[in-house]
Structures are given as C-alpha cells and as structure tokens.
Structure 1
C-alpha cells in the first residue's frame, strides 16, 4: 500500500513536503506511510489519500466481503435446517 501511495504522489509531481502540508501532517509521517509503517494512524493514511484524490480507494477496503457472505449463508442454511 505504501508503495502505491508513493507512486501516486510521484505521478502527480508532488513532494513529500507538499503532501504533508496539504494533509496537515509531517514529512516524516508521509515517509512512514510510503514505507508501509504500521505505527501510522489510519486517519493519516486517509488524509494523504484525500490529497492524492484516492480516498475512494480507501472506502473499498473490505467492501466485497466474500468470506463473510459465505459464512452468513452457511449460518442461514443451518438455521433453516434446524427449524424444519
């Protein structure tokens, strides 16, 4: 994810400093995001993505919960069998 954010920033010809200023954070935080550091708060990721006009990508996380649907379907099937 960090590498994708870095590439998006570079494609837009933005420096880390420019992104940091627009995202109301520090250059170090942007650097840590681009390195994929797990210590960066998710809000900082969202702010940086918004600067890059990529926030809609963030909203897609876990949007298609195929496993969750399958588990729910199994539970529903088992419930119908138990009530018969």
Structure 2
C-alpha cells in the first residue's frame, strides 16, 4: 500500500522550513550531533534530517520527541494557543 504525500502550499511550507531550521540551530547550539539527537529521540538520522528540513510528512509526535531531547517540549503548548478568530466566532454566538 502506497502512503499519501502531504500536500501543502509553498507559503505554508515556509513555516515548516523555519521550524526545521530552528530545530537544527537549537541542536547545534547545544553542541549535539545529529546522531546523538536521533538516538535520544528514538528515530533514524535520516528522519532527523527530514525534521530539520521541515518535512510535513513527518509525524507530529516525532517533532515532539526531537524537541523533548532539546528540552524545548514546552513549545508545543504554544501551538494554536491564541485562537483570536475562534474567540470572535464564539463571542458572536453569545450575542
């Protein structure tokens, strides 16, 4: 069975590219090799390379495991944290 490739518009791919770049820089600041981070995250080095490239097909759990190794797992709390549109829609329904 062939897996489906995630389709994402280029302007949104740039967001993942930046996330991957941030993860790579965080790893380098900590002076950790790709092999060390991959081993601690329980993934292959090739998968870490895909994370650092911002591959949208990599599971969110793998991104989390890599961030956990870098002691950045709290960054996950900030995903969809400030839902301004949702709050406005909710307020409209309350009127």
TM-score, normalised by the number of residues in structure 2:
0.79
Large movers: runs of 4+ above 4 Å: none
- Computing the radius of gyration from Cα coordinates, the structure with the larger value is 1
Residue 75 of structure 2 corresponds to residue 57 of structure 1: yes
Pairing partner for 1:32 from 42, 50, 60? 50
TM-score, normalised to structure 1, is 0.88
Give the total of aligned pairs: 77
Q: Secondary structure at the match of 2:22?
A: helix
CA RMSD of aligned residues (A): 0.6
Please state if 1:16 is matched with 2:26: no
